[in-house]
Amino acid sequence: MAERNIMRTLMIETSSVPGNLGRLATAIGLSGADIGEIETVQVGPVSTMRKFVVHCDDEDQLQEVLNEIQGLGGGIQLHAVSDDVLRAHEGGKIHMTSRMDIRSLSDLRRVYTPGVADVCRVIQKEPEKAQIYTSIGNTVAIVTDGSAILGLGDIGSVAGMPVMEGKAALFDRFVGISGVPILLDTKDPDEIVRTVKHIAPGFGGILLEDIGSPHCFEVEDRLKQELEIPVMHDDQHGTAVVTLAAVISACKSAGVNLRDAEVGQIGLGAAGLAICRMFMAYGVKKVHGADTSDIAKQRLVQYGGCPAESLDELMQRCDIVVATTGVSGLIKPEQVRPGQVILALSNPRPEIEPELALEAGAAYAADGRSVNNVLGFPGIFRGVLNARAKSITHPMLVAAADAIAKCTKKGELVPHPLNPKVHEAVAQAVESVVTQVHHA
């Protein structure tokens, strides 16, 4: 799900008059922006200097925020606007380092020549020992053609590099995997598949990222068939895992039995179809889907789902509704059926605001602000690499979703993405599925 596009840090001084901080926060909120962190920089005898991090949809909204602040007067002064995001990306977010300290000729001979030749010969005789004596088994290629970067669309793979670096940083931070961005200058499925197959020997797994629909389906399916290492398209299955976890938590809060419910998916793009497949893998018997594309609905039928004739029909039939269309306000309050669970996941503007859905009778409603793929993909790959699995299967993904749901506190939709215990739980759940299959 796409996030808000603009984040800026505002340095604002407020005079020590009761109510000034509230006036400032209200002005920012009424402009439609979200307030992130607030940091007190300096407290003086007559005023306080603070840093406000604000999140906006676009530059126009940011300018509206700045105009509102500057128009407040009464001892509230905007001193500076800075782009900390750009500064944080200067020089990139990742870099390769050596695990060996090379300080002597003896170190050099062990790490490189002549000692490394012995290791090469060992691997030549027994290729599987590359998992022991190289980093291959702990390295994942993060592959993109740049055709569907976040909510920005087809902006090219180089422009998508900050996203790939972010994935690599999260791999390292949460599960100790080395993620290597691979930027492709082609969108042709044949060329993508051929290229990834050629580089695959150097990696323990392939994470496909921000590859657009419909060619993402062909690319993933072919690579899964032709490679003997795990392959996963995160925009499909990572999103589906976290969505299933969120729905499991929402159903617990609403007292709904998910497996016996009729589930509706609005929007059958890459994420929407994967979500439908995830529900079916979980054991949901009736999964309906709505989309303007006949091809997308045909794919749903191939996977075992039921295409809805219209949005109205889906809303009438389904106990649980998930929406991933990117169309703000698509679901009208009068379409909400009393007792429904509704997750309108498009950011920054959901298909229906949770408050409106609840007022219309929904038993539970939420938007997609907390549904983040980072809860899924690091632990999933840690689990399959630990188990040396050759593929990622739906039972593994369902186990990952269950693990995320079990880590979710009562009243929350999903756990905090920075909680390391969540990633450990996901990895253990996935590895356990692989172990059970091997022992069966």
Cβ pair 242, 267 in contact under 8 A:
no
Binding residue ranges for (S)-malate = 347, 372
Binding residue ranges for a divalent metal cation = 209-210, 235
Tell which residue, 271, 264, 316, has the closest CA to residue 290: 264
Q: Is the peptide bond before 189 cis (omega within 30 degrees of 0)?
A: no
Q: In this structure, is the dihedral angle defined by the CA atoms of residues 107, 113, 115 and 120, taken in order, positive or negative?
A: positive
- In sequence order, the 6+-apart residues with CB closer than 8 A to the CB of 220 are 208, 231, 232, 233, 236
d(Cα 351, Cα 330) in Å, to the nearest integer? 5
d(Cα 367, Cα 342) in Å, to the nearest integer? 9
DSSP letters, 416-434, are -TT-HHHHHHHHHHHHHHH
Tell which residue, 13, 7, 8, 11, has the closest CA to residue 72: 13
Q: How many CB atoms lie within 10 A of CB 349?
A: 17
Q: What is the chain's Cα-based Rg?
A: 24
d(Cα 242, Cα 426) in Å, to the nearest integer? 11
Cβ pair 210, 235 in contact under 8 A:
yes
- In sequence order, the 6+-apart residues with CB closer than 8 A to the CB of 123 are 129, 130, 133, 134
d(Cα 272, Cα 266) in Å, to the nearest integer? 7
d(Cα 223, Cα 363) in Å, to the nearest integer? 41
| Tokens coding 404 | 């995320």
Q: Terminus-to-terminus CA distance in the chain, angstroms?
A: 37
Kindly state the helix (H) or strand (E) to which residue 277 belongs, with its residue range: helix 270-282
> Given 3-state DSSP classes, what are the helix, strand and coil percentages for the chain, each rounded to the nearest 5?
45, 20, 35
List, by residue number, the catalytic residues: 112, 167
